[in-house]
Amino acid sequence: MTTSIEPEVRLVAGALGAELHGIDVNTLTDEGFDRIHELLLAHQVVFITGQTGMTPEAHIALGRRFGEVELHPYLPRLEGYPEIVIINSEEGGKVDVWHTDMTFHQSPPQVSILQLLKVPQTGGDTMFTNQCMVYEELSAPLRDFLDGLTAIHVIRIGNEFTSRAEHPVVRVHPETGRRSLYVNRLFTSHIPQLTRNESDAILEYLFRFSEGPQFTCRYRWQAGDIAIWDNRVTQHYAVNDYRDLRRGQRVTVLGDHPTGDQPRWEHYVAAPGQRYWPDRVNAVDNY
């Protein structure tokens, strides 16, 4: 197989996702990468098929074309290649909760590049949402309200909160300028400008709305396939409907600090004697 500057492109769904054929990541040219990058910005997630021969060096090199590659603080790594983390369904690698990767960091990753090497005979699909479309389908008054808010994102390892960040509820993409809803079930704790009850109600509505099937694509993996997703404008969900081994390797590209409109209100301060739990997260120990 030779790298094609113009790969064959098949759209996966109406909301997002494009499958690319005719690419060999091991011999990727600058022109070939530029086309992948262009398609990623247009479709939020791209799937490159037929990459069973991709080397770890090529995987890391593809990540470095997007930016600085992360050394993940929690997940197991491929021996000899600390830039590559192992995703193993038999070792906690099942994340069947909608989420955006590592939003608990001040600068969450911009791009993730996952290759599945072992896939179940049936099941094990991954779903993605287009968070730009989610935001754009909200009513104008609600969009205006959300533009002026922030959200707290946290992670807990065991019983300890180990990382915490505050980001705009609506972020602006640094390359396309599009706005996207930037909250997720796994890591978003609360909206600090609101009371706990208000925050819980609004976040639950936003979570449910963003998970609507009209905003999603669902990808059926073949061994060797690569998924590259723009972590700034998507959520994803690993469908846990299988028992066979599902194993892959992922490279993550460090991101920038999410930006949006300035918050229009101060953080809510509870009245004396009123209890207010500042950090809460659904998820934890494995993600």
**N-terminal to C-terminal alpha carbon distance within the chain:** 35
Rounded Cα–Cα distance for residues 181 and 207 (Å): 10
Q: Annotated catalytic residue: which of 59, 72, 101, 153?
A: 101
Do residues 57 and 63 make contact, with C-beta atoms less than 8 angstroms apart?
Answer: no
Contact 92, 286 (CB under 8 A): yes
Catalytic residue flag (residue 144): no
Helix, coil or strand: residue 162: strand
CB within 8 Å of 16: residues ≥ 6 apart? 43, 44, 45, 128, 129, 130, 133, 215, 216, 217, 234
The active-site residue, picked from 35, 72, 190, 250, is 250
Active site residue 101: yes
Is 236 among the catalytic positions? yes
| Lookup: tokens for 146 | 């959300």
Cα–Cα distance for residue pair 55/61, rounded to 1 Å: 10
Active site residue: 59, 99, 153, 171, which one? 99
Q: Are 118 and 88 in contact (CB under 8 A)?
A: no
Catalytic hit among 43, 156, 171, 236:
236
Longest dimension (CA), the chain: 69
Q: How many CB atoms lie within 10 A of CB 221?
A: 22
8 Å CB contact between 176 and 230: no
Q: Does the annotation mark 250 as catalytic? A: yes
Return the active site residues: 99, 101, 236, 250
